Amino acid sequence: MTTEYGSGAAPAVPPRRLDARLNRERLVAAAREVFAEAGPGASLNEIARRAGVGPGTLYRHFPDRTDLLTAVLRDRIETLCARAEHLLDARDADDALRRWLHDFLDHARANQGMGGALLVETASAAGDPDCRRRIVDAASGLLDRARRDGTARADVTVDDLVHLVVGIALSTTGGERAGPEPPRLLELVLDAVFGGPRPGRGPRPGSPG
Amino acid sequence: MTTEYGSGAAPAVPPRRLDARLNRERLVAAAREVFAEAGPGASLNEIARRAGVGPGTLYRHFPDRTDLLTAVLRDRIETLCARAEHLLDARDADDALRRWLHDFLDHARANQGMGGALLVETASAAGDPDCRRRIVDAASGLLDRARRDGTARADVTVDDLVHLVVGIALSTTGGERAGPEPPRLLELVLDAVFGGPRPGRGPRPGSPG
DNA sequence: GGTCAACCGGAGAGGTTCTCCGTATCGTAG
DNA sequence: CTACGATACGGAGAACCTCTCCGGTTGACC
């Protein structure tokens, strides 16, 4: 599904050379490793070294750090959006939104919060606006339906939800100190979104899977 | 109130030299400026330069970046804790907690999120455990009272609240893209804490007091 | 096989964090 | 007032990072 270049229009650009494509893959693979080990602030030099290429090669393929980050997370984003579309057909609109937000939380926490960092930092111009766009579109569909067919409050926006989930991801990642379980915090937020906590049921995810 | 060294035990340590104390103050002042301009990731070299001291002097006084951060925020933390104690006497327990959490949110957002960064990153061993400790103590008092005399849910912990507020601060800071208003998000969370949204009342600080 | 554009790699500029140690200064004792 | 020792200063410098530039190499096509 990851079309390397535009699909519809005339490909005035010839396909990239084989070694270039190979190096790109090597870089993404190395980045996946290194980011997972050292977090989103990892040394790009180290990534280039581990990929077996020079720093120049890395920067030619990925001028910005966030470019590399999005490349690493692209699969995950695809999955997330696909799951959103799938959940649009679920019977329970509230539950669909709830489940997807849990998935999104997992995404935002992936690789020491780089998903969240990406979503927030590169939100506007830098990096890949397409990335945020897709997430927001996916969430919009689910939220709209939860408002219509479910019990979601009308005054809560997609932006609210995204920021809250990203916030949970950011504030619970990195610290070696064991904080609250992220899904627990999300459930707490969802209690507000869906009109408050059911009595006798704590902010506990009854396993959304 | 800021006792420079321990108060009770025998002061085996003589008071610091005058120039040392002076340089420390200069460094904190410079750090306040530079952090405000460039955020919590600002160059420590630049801070030393602006304070008119060498890098070595900076690192002797503040071995860790977070040490400098806590020193800069100490006043603010004092104020925050004092306000918590003051609010313990307020009539409306719920409102007291609500107000204080808004103050805390302001704190966490101060200086481009360095308050929040500090609270989360240095949460455990590094930096000043005393700092987090005081915040948590302050919040504990207010939350306990809101549970007893107010309507706060019993299953929400101080840690939950701290992480949620810090999360809001982190996810709404830095991006040049205008997101949701942080206080709005906090009100949304509070709706859950206080038993869900009243019908017809959005996530707005209607100030029930 | 030859040609050329595309691509690679690494040297290097300029930034950062943090350390080390000779030197200057403070505070005090004489 | 002076001399002395502990304390603190400051900047040189090592190690690292990001990012650029350009000579040399290599893949793709004729």
DSSP string covering B156-176, please? --HHHHHHHHHHHHHHTSS-S
Backbone CA torsion sign across B115, B116, B117, B118: positive
Distance CA A1, CA A187 (A): 33
Distance of CA A171 to the CA centre of its chain: 16
CB contact under 8 A, B171 and A164: yes
Q: Any CB–CB contact under 8 A between B108 and chain A?
A: no
Taking the CA of residue A208 and the nearest CA in chain B, the distance in Å comes to: 19
By CB neighbour count within 10 A (0-12 exposed, 13-18 middle, 19+ buried), where does A5 fall? exposed
Res B135: pLDDT:
82
pLDDT for the residue numbered B39: 87
Start-end of CATH 1.10.357.10 domains in chain A:
66-193
Residue B45 confidence (pLDDT):
97
| pLDDT band at A76; cut points 50, 70, 90 | confident
Residue ranges of chain B assigned to CATH 1.10.357.10: 73-209
Of the CATH numbers 1.10.10.10, 1.10.10.60, 3.40.30.10, 3.10.20.30, which one belongs to the domain with range A18-61?
1.10.10.60
Q: Which nucleotides of C are covered by protein (CB under 7 A)?
A: 6-12, 15-21, 25-27
Of B89 and A126, the structure prediction assigns the larger pLDDT to: B89
pLDDT digits (tens, 9 = 90+) for A19-63: 999 999 999 999 999 999 998 899 999 999 999 999 999 999 999
Please compute Rg for chain A using Cα positions. Answer: 19
Query: How many of the other CB atoms lie within 10 Å of CB of B146?
Result: 23
The answer to whether the beta carbon of residue A144 comes closer than 7 angstroms to any atom of strand D is no
Calculate how close chain A gets to B32, using CA atoms only, in Å.
23
The CB-side HSE value for B110 (13 A sphere, CA atoms) comes to: 21
Which nucleotide has its C1' atom closest to residue A42's CA? D17
> Does B200 reach chain A within 8 Å, measured CB to CB?
no
CATH class of the B73-209 domain in this structure: mainly alpha
More confident site: B184 or A12: B184
pLDDT of residue A53: 97
Is residue A18 pLDDT above 60, yes or no?
yes
Task: For residue A176, name the pLDDT band (cuts at 50, 70, 90).
Answer: low
Choices 3.30.70.260, 1.10.10.10, 3.40.91.50, 1.10.357.10: CATH for A66-193: 1.10.357.10
Contact B169, B113 (CB under 8 A): yes
> How does pLDDT run across B61-76, given as a tens digit for each residue?
999 998 999 899 888 8
B116 at A interface, C-beta within 8 A: yes
pLDDT digits (tens, 9 = 90+) for A146-175: 999 999 999 999 999 999 999 999 888 866
Distance of CA B20 to the CA centre of its chain: 27
Q: Looking at the C1' of nucleotide C6, which residue has the nearest alpha carbon?
A: A17
Weakly modelled stretches of chain B, pLDDT under 70: 1-12, 116-129, 174-177, 196-209
- Report pLDDT for A114: 74
Question: CATH 1.10.10.60: which residues of chain A?
Answer: 18-61
Residue B175 contacts A where some CB pair is shorter than 8 Å: yes
Model pLDDT, residue B114: 74
Nearest-nucleotide field for B22 (CA, C1'): D8
Nearest by CB: A167 against B159, B167, B192:
B167
CATH 1.10.10.60 range(s) for chain B read 16-63
Pick the CATH number of B16-63 from 3.40.50.300, 3.20.20.140, 3.90.1480.20, 1.10.10.60: 1.10.10.60
Task: Quote helix, strand, coil % in chain A, to nearest 5.
Answer: 65, 0, 35
The tokens for A187 are: 């459930």
Find the mean pLDDT for residues A63-86: 90
- Residue A208's pLDDT band (boundaries 50, 70, 90)? very low
The residues, ordered by sequence, that sit 6+ positions from B145 with a Cβ below 8 Å of its Cβ are: B88, B93, B96, B97
Question: How far apart are alpha carbons A126 and A80 in whole angstroms?
Answer: 22
Pairwise CB contact (< 8 Å): B160 & A197: no
Residue B154: how many other CB atoms lie within 10 Å: 7
Which residues of A fall within a CB distance of 8 Å from B116? 171
* Strand D contact with A203 (CB < 7 A): no
Ranges of beta strands (E only) in chain B are: none
